[in-house]
Structure 1
Amino acid sequence: METTFILIFILFPFFQTYNAISNNIMVTNSSNITCIPKERQSLVVFKQGLTDESNRLSTWTGVKCCEWEGVGCDKRNGHVVKLDLRSPLSFIDYYISSNTRRSWLKGKVSPSLLNLKYLRYLDLSMNNFTGQNIPEFFGSFKYLEYLNLSFSGFSGVVPPHLGNLSRLEYLDLHLLYRYDMVPLSYDVSLMVKDDLQWMSLLSSLKHLDFSGITIGNHIDWFHPINMLPSLLTLNLALCDINLSFIKFINFTSLNSLDLSFNGINSTFPVWLSNLSSLEHLNLEKNNFHGRISDFIGTLSSLSSIELSSNQLSGPIPPSLSGLSSLRVLDLSMNQLSGPIPRSLGGLSSLRVLDLSMNQLSSPIPRSLGGLSSLRVLDLSRNQLSGSIPKSIGQMSMLEELQLSVNHLSGGLPKSIGLLTRLHELSLYINQLSGSIPTSLGELSSLFKLDVSYNSLDGVLSEIHFMKLNNLVVLDLSENSITFNVSPNWIPLFQLNYFRASSCNIGPQFPNWLQTSTYIIDIHLSNSGIRDSIPEWFENITFHLGFLDLSENKIGGNLPRMRNPGIVAVNLAQNLFNGSVPTHLCEWSSIRLLDLSNNNFSGVLPKCVGNLIHLQVMDIKNNTLTGDVPSSLGFLSNLESLHLSNNKFKGNLPVALQNLTRLVTCDLGKNLLTGDIPSWIGNKLSKLRILNLQSNNFMGKIPPKLCQNNALQHLNLANNNISGMIPHCIYNLTGMIVTSVDFQYYASPYEENIESYIKGIQLKYTKTLKYLTSIDFSSNQIIGEIPDVLMNLAALNNLNLSRNLLSGQIPTRIGNLNKLESLDFSMNLLSGGIPQSLATLNFLSYLNLSFNNLSGQIPFGSQLQTLGDPLAIYGGNNELCGPILLRSCNRKSLPDTHVSDEDGNIEIEDFWLLITIIPGFVVGFMGFIGSLYFIKEWRLVYFETIENVYSWLVVWIIVTLTRIQRKIF
């Protein structure tokens, strides 16, 4: 919505009333009028109670008080009739400019003002009288016609004494900036207590604004206000009110009504149809429901309709075209459906059309091109299809065009270049294709262009930017656009935001970018850059907040940045080399640092502990060495830490226990030693991902690890861990229920983890929230598999392979009904396979090979689809069943299937052999061929052979040790 136009419509009644009142008040600053001494003294006392940092009241000296700033006197008798001390701030300055707030008047309103008995106009708005109530004595100004205390900091209860102001025409107490509903910067709240009956006494009232004041849905506001026949403007936004079910009203002269942001749950109020003079209607952010045609069929005088964020349904009625005075139409964020009626093209006076966030479908009608007065067109977040009509170029006054998040296809029409007043063009998330027309270069007023997430291609050259000297935001992300300009090109614009991820910007780093010295955001991920970062890059980093150059082939050293306020740096998957420089420790505000998948070497500097706001540190897949710096313990805001696949050594520093917000701790594939610290369990209570695989950790699994009830992925594989699986493992309640998304403030970082699951190495990103896993494989863990492990019902991966586990597989294995991958191979397990295993309907990978299992293999439809039985059950000579072609009634194939009692081969067994042998030969040759042609299979096969060999060595050593203990 175009704020400028809306402010004009809302403030118009204010100016209208203000002018009327000002014309009726005969004031003067002439030196011919003598100031009443008693009134002058009252003003002096009032000033003494104020703090005036900007010296706005510097003229309040001498005896001529009628010439003082903000003071007006009646030219007949010299009485003070006007006191206008409104702050000179604009609405926007009031919220975003802390420096200009010095112009606020502060302090207390002295009761000395009571001596201004003839006061007709009082404006204390846009000041800061925090900590005091609205003075009750304001109700004593019996001649008062104008009272404005908006944005003035008063709090408490609205005094009912204001009901004594029988001549009052204008009353404004609103607290909130209407359009964003932004609260005041200080703690302010006003409320109505008991009732509003006193309001009915203000019979002359024309303008009433209580926006942001809590009235409450238990208070009857309607009937008192309904007694005000002269009322022209009624603003009750964000007042927590309900509507009364009444059919007849007295304020039929009303021309502006604002009941927005109240959450009113109602059908369209019948009494609205009686407001024949209504010009501005704002009911947004409520729960009005029903068909849209029921709301606006009778309001023919409307020039502004705002009904966004309700539950209006049905198609947009063609009858809207009858509202010939309509300038603003905002029906966004409802449940409107169907096509956009062609008749809207007849609204020749329309300036703002916002139909965004509905369920509108079908193509955009060409007739909209007839809206020659339109300034804002927002059809975003619908289900519109088809192409952008060429007639769009007829909207010569258009300043903002929002068509994003639809299903629009085809190319951009050349007529887009006719919209020379266009400030913003947003077309992101559609299905647009083809090249961007060169006519785009004619849009000299354009400051924002966003065509991201489409299927655009072709070349962008200098001619596309020929007249775009005001361009500030350029987003081309996730297209196939090639950026082709000369190396010496100097653009007319200076960008604040440049995003071109997945476009072709390279191979050189964009040299033209060096003129954008105020750039805030650079996203050039996967943009084909094969260069080092130039020296001039440091000169454009003063204001840089976000930098993403990931997935390129950028080499050299890490760039230096001169802005300590940088928030996010992503340089992953490049060719950066050398040591991690200490100058990155100057980025004191950084929240995301991703240097993963590069060629960094040397030690991680200790000064990284200075980055106290850091939430994500990812430096995995480099060749960093040395100890893990204990200074990491100072990063108290850290939520994700990735140091895996480096060469860190030594023990984990105890200081890491201070990382109490840590959610992901990925330290796998390093050279770390020592015991697994017990503080991981009782100090890092929010930890959900713990990866310590492929290190040199030893000792037992600490029982305190079980205290971490948020843990959902625990990987201790490939270490030297001994002892038994602790019985307390059932306390890992994070593995009983599914966890929520991984969301960090440092967006757009996507949490990720690698794990060996289903026999292959997998990387989890978007699906990480669904990964619930335990991997204790390739250790020296002994004892039985705890039965309580079967309580972790959310597990989808359980890997205990290549250990020294004994005993039987728990019969309750079927309780793990979400299990997708199960690996118990290369242990000392014995006994039968539980029948409940056959009930695991999601199981897609199973490995029980090389144990001492016996008996019949359970029959189940899922178990019969898991692949090669030899890979699953091999090395268990006592297992039998049809899937192994081994009868469970005889001990071996030669004794039970080949000869009869006389040593002769039975016919049925003979044919069985005839069937088996060729199948074995074909299968074996196919297996050998697969190993020859498929590299991944070949690597897995030989890795398995190596693991079997390692297991045999460990088993022999353990067996010899046991024998030695028995002998000695």
Structure 2
Amino acid sequence: MNLCILELEFLSYLDLSFNKFDAIRIPSIHHNITRSSNLLYTDLSLNQGPTLHMDSLHWLSPLSSLQYLNLNGIDLHKETNWLQVLNTLPSLLELQLSGCNLNNFLINPSIEYLNLSSIVTLYLSNNDFTSHFLVDFLISPKISPMLTFTRAIYMGPIPYGIGQLAHIQDLDLSKNQLQGSIPSTLGNLSSLIFLSIGSNNFSGEISNLTFSKLSSLDSLQLSNSNFAFQFDLDWVPPFQLSNLYLAHTNPGSNFPSWIYTQKSLQNLDLSNSGITLVDTKKFSRLIERIPGFLILSNNSIVEDISNLTLICSYLLLDHNNFTGGLPNLSPMALTVDLSYNSFSGSIPDSWKNLRELGLLNLWSNRLSGEVLGHLSDLKQLQHIILGENEFSGNIPVEMSQHLEMVILGGNHFEGPIPAQLFNLSSLLHLDLAHNKLSGSMPKCVYNLTDMVTNHFTPSLGITIELFTKGQDYKYRLRPERRTIDLSANSLSGEVTSELFRLVQVQTLNLSHNNFIGTIPKTIGGMKNLESLDLSNNNFSGEIPQSMSSLHFLGYLNLSYNKFDGKIPIGTQLQSFNASSYIGNHYLCGAPLNNCTIEEENPKNSKLSTKNEDDDSIKESLYLGMGVGFAVGFWGICGSLFLIRKWRHAYFWFIDGVGDKLYVTLIVKLNSFLQK
């Protein structure tokens, strides 16, 4: 981003926000931008590249006509004169410097006062202010006469004198390190419309007295606070809120009774607040009339809401103890998370009309029936999470083409896997494990683009139980994760090589099926693979050498297959223990250590083979001689024993031979003695 664009003489409106710029270039010659006096609006905020930083704001000084400036998200921690720069912008109406790492500033003694009289809106939230100085300076008697704020969002500790800002409408002190109790003078700000003081380290009590004069209050944000709530049970507030955020607070086990009096609530967040008990009638009437956000996640509410029709666009009731059937929903529902409850029964027919639904999470309930037929027409669906229920039926051929997450594990789905699932270009997570699926893997060209390229996707913060690396994890699904789990089904046939070309996949689990065939060499290209489980199948052949280059592989299970040959030598594959390879009877090599000497010394393999052949020939010769001797011996002896004539002739022959030997011996002996 080069700010020489400010040299355009008649430029009045400049918006470069929400891009991916990674650097800002400021013109070196200051007077080059002096003619930009027509510039009224400048927005450089919220770029998604590496953190943008800017060492100086001196380029703002000539922009005397500037009315709106938004630098949210730009790192300004090196700029210590930003207050002085503001003093040079007399026309400024709105300034946004949120999330800019502002944690230091210098005051020029020569400046008598800050000329901030024109500012209507000031956003300095989500920085690192810890000093009282900023707010004290802004509201000190020295400059207070110059302040006519009607909307201001301060960052910094709350001084007692904040009650002087009688006309302030918006006050945001959230996301800092502020401590201490809320001053009673806060209740004097009768013009307040928006109050946000959550995500700090405040302590002490907060009660109906704190809000007794805030009759104009429309939005209240106290989330992530340690206040001790001391509201009277019969208190009726002087205001009617549109927005109430009490997430991660401690209001007590009972649903706060004063909230039931709020007839105009558009958004309610009471998640992670320890709520257990509700007034059934009042609670039902309250949640049925909220059209925006209804967030009650991570409480322990026990209630049957099956007879209600909820009109909210964002419904998050996960991690509670809701029972009975599912509620009816408005056709305008965008996000529905009812996971980790005790809902039962089937999907209501009215859910067929949820045409705008983008996320459906019913993980871990007691639901049943043929759900996917009901949901196949929801063409905007991006995330469908139905795991750990008792759903049944086939996976439909036609599903939303926008699906990024298909989590159907732990049900009773049956039939083949539709080929269309492998043509979802945005798919990141596919979990069909622990079902009754059968047939072979689809033989098609996989168009799972986001499992091949590293495409950025915003995180949803969804937590499920995922079996990876040999264990069950409470797993927070993140945009950079890619998983495929088809384990514990009745799938068969060869696994197509297309599956091993998905190079961004980190978890691949095909275990406990009936797959056959070999592992293709292309698996070596899955450089991001962290967990591979092919156990309990009928895979065969050798383990490809390319697997030794999977340097991120932290879990491997090839046990109980029909692999043979030697485990490829490499640091990675030898780092696993023998349990990763057991049950393959013809597999050898470290860490199994059961290869023979000849197998470990391939150079001697030919000599070894020759020696083995020679030994075999000798063994055959000796065996033949032994058999021949035995046959000849018993053939002659047996004949002599059985045939009398032969026996007599044999003895006559032996007797004659004996006589001849005797005569010959005597003749030889006499001749020797005579000599």
Partner amino acid, structure 1, of 2:340: N
Question: 5 Å matches for 1:81-480?
Answer: 243=8, 259-261=12-14, 270=31, 282-285=39-42, 292-293=57-58, 296=61, 305-306=66-67, 308-309=69-70, 316=81, 326=90, 328=92, 332=96, 339-343=104-108, 346=111, 348=113, 350-352=115-117, 377-380=122-125, 382=127, 384-387=129-132, 391-392=136-137, 393-394=139-140, 396=144, 397=147, 399-404=150-155, 412-480=158-226
Quote the Cα distance in structure 2 between the aligned partners of 1:454 and 1:591: 31
The reply on whether 1:595 has 2:346 as its aligned counterpart is no
**1:618-672 Cα distance to aligned partner (Å, 9 max, x none):** 33322233443xxxxxxxxxxxxxxxxxxxxxxx42x644333332333444445
Q: CA deviation at 1:538?
A: 5.5
Tell me how large the CA RMSD over aligned residues is: 4.1
Which of 845, 848, 862 is the equivalent residue of 2:558? 848
Name the structure 2 match of 1:689: 405
Q: In the alignment, is the contact (CA less than 8 A) between 2:559 and 2:583 conserved in 1?
A: yes
Stretches of structure 2 lacking an aligned partner (at least 5 in a row)? 17-24, 45-53, 601-675
| Secondary structure at the counterpart of residue 532 of structure 1 | coil
Amino acid at match of 1:553: S
| 1:843 alignment partner AA | L
CA contact (8 A) 1:476 1:500 kept: yes
> In structure 1, how many angstroms separate the alpha carbons of the residues matched to 2:92 and 2:110?
14
Residue pair 2:419, 2:444 contacting (<8 A) in 1 also? yes
2:570 paired with 1:860? yes
Structure 1 residues 712 and 533 mapped into 2: Cα distance closer, same or farther (>3 Å)?
Answer: same
What amino acid maps onto 2:69 in structure 1? S
Q: Per-residue CA shift, 1:880-902, capped at 9, x if unaligned?
A: 3343344542799xxxxxxxxxx
User: What is the identity, as a one-letter code, of the residue corresponding to 2:516?
Assistant: S
Larger RCO: 1 or 2 (CA < 8 Å, sep 6+): 2
Q: Give the aligned partner of residue 756 of structure 1.
A: 467
Q: Residues 602, 413 of structure 1: CA spacing in aligned structure 2 closer, same or farther, 3 A cutoff?
A: same
Q: CA deviation at 1:478?
A: 1.9
Distance in 2 between residues matched to 1:417 and 1:619, nearest whole Å:
48
Matched residues in 2 for 1:694 and 1:317: separation? 57
The answer to whether 1:660 aligns with 2:405 is no
- Offset of 1:413 from its aligned partner? 3.1
User: How high is the sequence identity, in percent, across the aligned residues?
Assistant: 32
The answer (yes or no) to whether the contact 1:471–1:493 under 8 Å persists in 2 is yes
Report how far residue 676 of structure 1 moved.
4.1
1:756 CA drift (Å): 1.8
Q: Provide the rounded CA distance (Å) in 2 between the counterparts of 1:668 and 1:318.
A: 54
Corresponding residue of 1:147: none
Which residue of 2 is the match for residue 941 of structure 1?
none
Q: In the superposition, relative to structure 1, how do residues 805 and 621 fare at CA in structure 2: closer, same or farther (>3 Å)?
A: closer
Deviation at 1:819, TM superposition (A): 0.8
Matched-pair contact (CA < 8 Å) for 1:553–1:575 = yes
SS of 1:343's equivalent? coil
Looking at structure 1, the residues matched to 391 and 309 of structure 2 have their Cα atoms a distance apart, in angstroms, of 35
* CA distances 1:579-611 after superposition (whole Å, capped 9, x unpaired): 334xx34x3533333332222223333223344
Distance in 2, matches of 1:307 and 1:610, equals 43
- Opposite residue 510 of structure 1, the aligned amino acid is P
Give 3-state SS (helix, strand or coil) of 1:862's partner.
helix
Partner of 2:605: none
Indicate if the aligned counterparts of 1:327 and 1:352 stay in contact, CA closer than 8 A: no
Aligned counterpart, 1:823: 533
Q: Which residue of 1 aligns with 2:669?
A: none
Q: Distance in 1 between matches of 2:110 and 2:93?
A: 13
Contact 1:857 1:881 in 2 (8 A): yes
8 Å contact kept, 1:388–1:413: no
Q: Does structure 1 residue 884 correspond to structure 2 residue 649? A: no
Distance 2:394 2:307 in 1: 39
SS of corresponding position for 2:546: helix
Larger radius of gyration: 2
SS of structure 2 residue aligned to 1:463: helix
How far 1:872 sits from its partner (Å)? 0.9
Per-residue deviation, residues 210-239 of structure 1 (Å, max 9, x unmatched): xxxxxxxxxxxxxxxxxxxxxxxxxxxxxx
Q: Distance in 2 between matches of 1:850 and 1:429?
A: 53
Counterparts of 1:623 and 1:491, CA distance in 2: 40
Matched with 2:236 is: 490
CA distance in 1, matches of 2:418, 2:354: 31
Q: How many residues align?
A: 567
- Find the partner of 2:506 among 796, 803, 809: 796
| SS of the residue 2:259 aligns to | helix
1:148 aligned residue: none
Q: In the TM superposition, what is the alpha-carbon distance from 1:822 to its structure 2 partner?
A: 0.6
Match of 2:607? none
TM-score relative to the length of structure 1: 0.52
Q: What residue number does 2:300 align with?
A: 553
Deviation at 1:525, TM superposition (A): 0.6
CA distance in 2, matches of 1:703, 1:262: 44
Do the aligned partners of residues 560 and 261 (structure 1) sit closer, same or farther apart at CA in structure 2, a change above 3 Å counting? Answer: farther
* Shift of residue 267, structure 1, vs aligned partner: 7.8
1:563–1:675 Cα change, 3 Å: closer
CA gap of 1:830–1:379, structure 2 versus 1, over 3 A, is: closer
Pairwise CA distance, 1:439:
3.4
Structure 1 counterpart of 2:583: 875
Cα deviation, residue 308, structure 1: 2.4
Secondary structure of the residue aligned to 1:522 is strand
CA distance in 2, matches of 1:695, 1:377: 53
